[in-house]
Amino acid sequence: MSGRLSLRDLQLTYQTSRGPLDALGPLSFDLEDGEFIAVLGPSGCGKSTLLKLLSGLLAATHGEARLNGEIIDRPRRDVGIVFQKPTLLPWKTVRQNVLVPLRVLGTQTPETEKRADKLVAMVGLEAFAHYYPHELSGGMQQRVGIARGLVHDPALLLMDEPFAALDALTREQMTLELQAITNAAKKSVIFITHSIQEAAFLADRIIVLSERPGRIVEVVSVSLPRPRDLSSMVSPAFIETCDHLRRLFAPVHAHA
């Protein structure tokens, strides 16, 4: 199952002791069925706020987001989330951690357990299914988080800087693995990142946000053919996309 996401004038304003604070938007864009969109922007521009709105954890001040035609106004079963830190339960094994959403939703059956086992294998952890989090590397723990985000077969997968805490080599490897996983799962994905290269490598389109309140500066289409590998990162199209994105973030005086 995958999904089509539609945002129309989505906006969030926090009420603070010093008055209203515009945190995000208004934003309007569509995510097509099975598309991978990366959201890139400076710190504090509202990227994580956007994910909270799309997951139903926050209510919009204005505008709306719809998934497959239905307004997102509360947490939904057809949305999966992968956090910056995998937040695994230390007393549960890899397999048990992946099964957590099914237990919470009351949908754990022999059939859905088979799906969990397939996902554990898909993220390369079949041999570690009965290991505990402290016995895994950071990259392996994040793979568990990705499998957990997919286990209930969501229409939309939201990813909030899932590789930010990893070292450079592990991060590069995880980027390759995520491409393989999302291609195989055929999911619609919104991926939050600070990394220009990560966005250019993974995404079909990149939404570039301004400083707070985050508004769309530009939507950049990525012309790299799929599947992509490390050689894609030295291709003219990749280098050109990264250069274009960097120019969007360059200080105004740099263009003078």
pLDDT of 1 reads 63
Pairwise CA distance, residues 72 & 64, whole Å:
7
CA angle centred on 39, ends 33 and 44, rounded to 5°: 145
Residue 226 has pLDDT above 80, yes or no: yes
Residue 256 has pLDDT above 80, yes or no: no
For range 69-98, the mean pLDDT: 92
pLDDT of 125 reads 93
Determine what percent of the chain is predicted with pLDDT higher than 90: 62
Q: Cα 98 from chain centroid?
A: 18
pLDDT range class, residue 252, cuts 50, 70, 90 = very low
Ranking 132-136, 144-148, 246-250, 251-255 by mean pLDDT, the lowest is 251-255
pLDDT of 117 reads 94
E-assigned strand segments in 170-247: 188-193, 205-209, 216-221
pLDDT of 2 reads 66
pLDDT range class, residue 204, cuts 50, 70, 90 = very high
Q: Cα 117 from chain centroid?
A: 22
Q: How many CB atoms lie within 10 A of CB 219?
A: 11
To the nearest 10°, the Cα dihedral for 191, 163, 241, 52?
A: 20
Average pLDDT, the chain: 90
Beta strands at 5-16 and 19-31: parallel, antiparallel or unpaired: antiparallel
For range 103-126, the mean pLDDT: 88
Residue 16 has pLDDT above 50, yes or no: yes
Radius of gyration for the alpha carbons in the chain, expressed in angstroms and rounded: 18
Contact 14, 46 (CB under 8 A): no
CATH numbers and ranges of domains, the chain? 1-77+156-251 (3.40.50.300), 79-153 (no CATH)
pLDDT of 67 reads 95
For range 42-68, the mean pLDDT: 93
